[in-house]
Amino acid sequence: MAMLDRVAAIHSDSVMPHGLGGLVPHQYQSEVFVRAQKANVIAALPTGSGKTLISVLLMRWIASQEQSKGKIVAFLVPKVTLVEQQWRYIQQKTSLRVAKLHGALDLDLSDRSGWKKRFETHDVFVMTAQIFLNILTHSLWKMDKVSLMIFDECHHARKNHPYNGILREYFQLDPSDKRPKIFGMTASPIWNVKNPLGSLSDLESNMNAKVIAVVEHVQELNEHSPKAKEIIKEYPLAPEEYNYSSPTIYQCLKVVDNSVWDDLEIPWRQIDNRYWVTFYNLGPYCASMFLFHEIQYYLERFLIENKQKILDDLSHSVEIEDVITSTSLPSKRIPDELHFIIDILQDFQAFFPGKITSSTSPIPVSNLAWCTPKLKVLVDILLEHHSPSFQGIIFVEQRHDAYTLSKVLNLLPELQGRIRSAFLVGQGVNADGVSTRTDSYEGDPIKLFRDHALNILIATSVAEEGLDFPECDLVVRFDPVQHMVGYLQSRGRARKQASTFIVMIPKGDTLQLERYQTLQQKEPEVARVYQTRHAVADEEDVDDDMDETDPVDLAARERYVVPSTGAVLSYDNSLSLLNHLCSLIPRDAFTPIHKPKYTGEFEQTLHLPRALPLSPQDLTFTGPLRRSKREAKRAAAFMAVKRLKELDVFDEYLLPLAKYADGEEEEVRSITGDGKLKRQIPPPIMSAHVRDPWYIGQTLWSHTILVENAAIASLITSTVLPPQDFVIEGSNVQMLPAALLEFDADQEHEQRLAMHQFTRCGVWYNNTSRPFSSPFSFYLVPITPDRLPDFEAIQCLLSYPEGNGDWSKISEEDYDKLMVICRPQFGSIHILRRIREDLTPLSTPLPGSREATSPTYHEYWTKKWSRKNRQVVLPTNGPVLETFRFQRSNIGTFLFDSSPSHSPIHIARDGRLLPQASCAWLPISHSIRRAFEVLPVLCHRITSGYRARCARYELNLPPSISTNFIIEAFTIPAASFPFSNQRMETLGDAVLQLCTTVHLLNRYPNRHEGQLTKLRQQVVSNRYLMYRALDLGLEQFLNSEIGNVSKWRYTSPDDALPYQHGTARLSRVVTREYPRRSLQDCMEALVGACFLAGGIPLALQGGTALGLEFGGPLPWFIRYHRIPVPTIIAPAFAALEENLNYKFRHNHLVMESLTHPSFTFSDVPSYQRLEFLGDAVLDLFVVKYLFDKFPSATSHQLAFPRTKAICNQTLAYLAVKKLSLHKMMLMNSMDLNIAVDRSVSVLDSLSADEIVKNGWKYDPPKALSDLFESVVGAVLVDSGYDYEKTAAVLEYVMEDVLEVLSPSLAKDPVSELMEWAASTGCTRIAIKPMVKKTELRERDGVAVLVHGKLVVGPIVSSSLNIARFAAAERALTKLRDPASEMNLANLCDCALAMSIDGCPPASPFVVDSTEPTGDISSTDDEDAEDIDEVAEFLIEDTTEDDQEKVAI
């Protein structure tokens, strides 16, 4: 095909589906692109020739193919620095969705759903090779779901580089047509110039690709890949002596003994070596600068880690204000020479500036006399090539040289105002700490260099590859070129036209000169090798710190694939998997870092940390014999990981921790992998269909209502309700069993309609005062002696729905019973007290009465009841009725016991006089009126009970849980009842924690505390509980309705008929809205209800029914029954048994509970797993104790004493004072011994009252509280998981502490300060972190400020929490002291500001937020009358000032 046709084909078939978008390749790029479409290739093109553009064309083409659907493109780079650059370029040049991944992004490999979403929402992933290898290892994505793999700087695909690890997985994919396409890019393909063909063959074999070069458009390639001018610059050898001032900083520090450096954790020997390397390379000043900053770095780190110990030592000799000493930190030995070293650094500080700015003075060096000739030559080079737009890169071998050189160049007088330099080294923390320091210029040096904020970059090999610096016109190899890779890559950084590449070589060093000239001569020969055969060779990365694996070892390698998931274990990832596992083991400040240890040479033995809860034989692995030490280590690690997978230490994805409760709108699974749920997360306020018993259907059931054993009415609905007994407003109310209600066929419709209308009138008059048109969902009607609906009584009311005006039938028997309606104020209902024949409307009101403001009753009524558009006409004759206001029953709240209702009682005014001629009486009997009085409570109670019974049946809850418990568990706070599920939720949360902990502990006997903690967090999280609740349909049973029924809610839909004809059924559900978080609260409350009803055994049954991770319904003593015969308890533990009042049966449990993680030479693991268990036991015990002791306390009130009882200080007190555990603890840490000894004397002197109320003042080591928790865990396990027995032991041990606990405990100083300040009206008080400066160093502290003015602080302590409490306590004392300058009155003007702003005082009237509200203008006449009455009542009972406010 002709070339023009070929390019046209590319554009039409490959690129155009995505659009060129201005991306037009050169012809040499199109040539390579076409060949890449046909086969796997490695493009060997010079630096700057546009290899990334070819890869973009290729990925756009591959993404347009049908077979690429559901697959990704993996763009792989060897170094983190390249990720950002390539990601930005690809994102700009294509419409594909591009993601970037590298280790610095803190990626969570356990978040499987997050990764799934990430892969589904992106097309291209730019990432480091190690990240992609991790993705394949843990089966987050499969190789067959990759359409294209692009390897940037692909010459790294050798030895044990992650590139090669990825490619080994690539070759495992069979058949081969499922493998992704491969495209490699490199500018330096051949590493071994002595055997170029062998290098090419190895690379092609590793990558399954052919190396190609440009063949048809070489001239165009050369035009767009300018070659820098190469210059050799020789420099004189360094002199034997320098005219450098003495003593040097090295001479001063050299006198310090090596043991002192060891105590200070400063690696003097390595620093010493690097000092002399820098001395010979850069000269005495640079070496001294390096030494100064290196010692300063390590010293600062030591001071930070040991600041409290240093402060404590200082406090013995000099009093330091506002520093609180601590007993909980490791007590490292602080050498006396520390201050001597600090003095030395201070003496030299002015000579070696830290952060360099434009105002920094140059160093006083004449003619660079304190630097090597090599550095002088470099200065000459920079001066010679400097220009206003000049930019250059200087390549060095050592990181500390890059750091030091970047500082020195900014300080030299000759370069002042010309050079702005910074250094660029690899990512991560280097052993010498250099890479963790801040640069001379703040920010990213790469970006600053590209933006011309810098003009010189001193770099290691990290800048040789891939980084694009198009404006660079000078590259200097300050240190020798070692191989072809370094030569080609560094020279390739000089991309500007007429750029210069300078190689610095010592005078007379023929070896270096010959090496460089050889590379220079061999370059075209090496290029011809792949240009002529269209292949490219491999080369070595100078940063690769990996051994060459022997072919025999490679052939002997194993590979393990987890059958269920496809996760891959190989020699390439075994070391990192083990390191990751050990890094997750929890440790305190007294325990060394947990890490695997290897011993041996070519047959390595791996020793895992004793902190792993494994048998001794599973802690040691001896690998097979290998030909290299590194390979022998990998082999041992492979064996260990494979065995740990069998022991379930690693899960099916080879992860030590997995995430099971995922993000929003994602999947949630149980820890067993069962029961996957696919539910979308509801909105914060969710709408749900809730069970409801009320509806009118074809079949009706009559339920007779008895009050104090007298049948008064019948409740009729289509749901069969069970017989129930209640206590409502102090009266015994019964509902008898349902009886089928039968009708005469001819009268059924009329009778149903009559019951409906009667119920409507009854509810209107007795409960709501509001008319409504929706059909009722039940009927309440009077009954005959045979307990059938009394249709005659029903018809009496329906005949006079607005009252009967015939008063001739009324006698004294009706007094105090008869309901009266006054027509001028129709919304008000009154009860007849008596008929006053002695009064008429024209009578004169009695003095002092409310009507006395008018000459006659008639005039008073006319004035009061008339409105602007309605004049009332009243009779002047007839008697007057004496009545009192009828209070409607519209509150449905109730309690479970027989105590008086807590429902609000509305106060009514007695003695109302009404004209009889304007009034009518309602034909409603006193008995039916009594039925309507109890109706709101009755309906609410029946509704709650119905939902509880439905939940018991459908959720398979244990039958022994009382209905009342279930009702309480489902009643959310929004219902505003006298009770809610919050107390049960608090208890249930503790039960949930313990039951889950016991299950996890036994299900995963080989997982350490860190793994178990993470698992527990996931399966007790609110999100997990919410999804479980949704899976169960728990939202159907919640009680969210408020007690007030002023707006009647027991109705059918507006379009429903009064009753349902035919066979169709109305649904027994209603729609309700409530907070989403109510779901998880109800789950925990149900667990708490089960525990209250039957302890742990019933909680296990209930939790299992709810789908929680309890391990099943079997009781623990059956499930975890241990057959081994009890062992003899060591005499050393006799005192512990006596203190506990408990006899152990298994010695190993006691020993494990007392073994600190620092004690590694033990037959049992450390106490961490038992402490994990004991923590949950203590939490439940304390919560249950407070729950029972304070039955009226809210969950919020229980939380504070609970925290006080189980905090670190209280448990440490119990460990020391009650059990003397500090005398039995097995530990191997001198620092912990010292910290414990310091705390013991303090804790021994305290009482239970002091530790509970003022525990915040003390800071004992957490190991003591951990020890107490682990002993509690040991008691539970030893007793056969008998919780009641363990609780009895705790009650005995904690008796003194428990007696102190109360919801009314004094608040801690922070809470007290804030509450007191709020009570005074101050709104500008703050407790803030603040740095405290002393002669030694700066330390973090806490200060209290009022209106921005410092009152106390900064207070310094090892714990910022303790400092916070101490600062608040001192501030409270000062602010309350009238004689203090810091008295709050002198600092705060909030009250004055409020007065000036005119803020009104709080309203004296409290509005019930649960009452329905609305626009008064939209109310009907009846409502308006009621509102008038209430307003009148309020005004009559207030002062004149208050009346004015009410009127407003």
Total Cβ atoms within 10 A of residue 672: 10
Please, which residues have CB within 8 angstroms of residue 617's CB and are 6 or more apart in sequence?
none
Beta strands of 1080-1169 (E only): which ranges?
none
What whole-number distance in Å separates Cα of residue 1384 and Cα of residue 1374? 8
By C-alpha distance, which of 574, 549, 570, 571 is closest to 561?
570
DSSP string, 734-793: EEPPPEEE---TTTHHHHHHHHHHHHHHHHIIIIIS----SPBSSEEE-B-TTSSB-HHH
Which residues are registered as beta bridge partners of 1226? 1155
By C-alpha distance, which of 479, 1386, 127 is closest to 490?
479
Written as six digits, the tokens of 1225 are 């603890």
The residue type at 689: H
What whole-number distance in Å separates Cα of residue 70 and Cα of residue 61? 15
What whole-number distance in Å separates Cα of residue 1068 and Cα of residue 498? 86
Beta-strand relationship, 710-717 and 779-781: antiparallel
Q: Are 830 and 1429 in contact (CB under 8 A)?
A: no
- Residues classed as catalytic: 989, 1084
Beta strands of 1218-1277 (E only): which ranges?
none
Written as six digits, the tokens of 620 are 């040691």
What whole-number distance in Å separates Cα of residue 378 and Cα of residue 390? 15
- First-to-last alpha carbon distance for the chain, in angstroms, is 93
Written as six digits, the tokens of 880 are 């007057």
Q: Are 394 and 429 in contact (CB under 8 A)?
A: no
Q: Are 1157 and 1286 in contact (CB under 8 A)?
A: no
DSSP string, 637-670: HHHHHHHHHHTTSS-TTS-SS---B-STTS-B--
What whole-number distance in Å separates Cα of residue 574 and Cα of residue 84? 29
Please, which residues have CB within 8 angstroms of residue 325's CB and are 6 or more apart in sequence?
308, 311, 312, 315
Q: Which helix (H) or strand (E) holds 932?
A: helix 926-954
Q: What is the residue whose two structure tokens read 């209290």?
A: 1344
55 burial (CB, 10 Å; 0-12 / 13-18 / 19+) is buried
Written as six digits, the tokens of 850 are 């409310």
What whole-number distance in Å separates Cα of residue 535 and Cα of residue 147? 23
Total Cβ atoms within 10 A of residue 39: 13
By C-alpha distance, which of 870, 808, 863, 868 is closest to 841?
863
How is residue 1193 annotated by DSSP?
Answer: -
> Helix 1009-1019 and helix 982-1003: axis angle, to 10°?
140
What whole-number distance in Å separates Cα of residue 59 and Cα of residue 55? 6
889: left (phi over 0), alpha (psi -120 to 50) or beta: beta
564 burial (CB, 10 Å; 0-12 / 13-18 / 19+) is exposed
Q: Are 1170 and 1273 in contact (CB under 8 A)?
A: yes
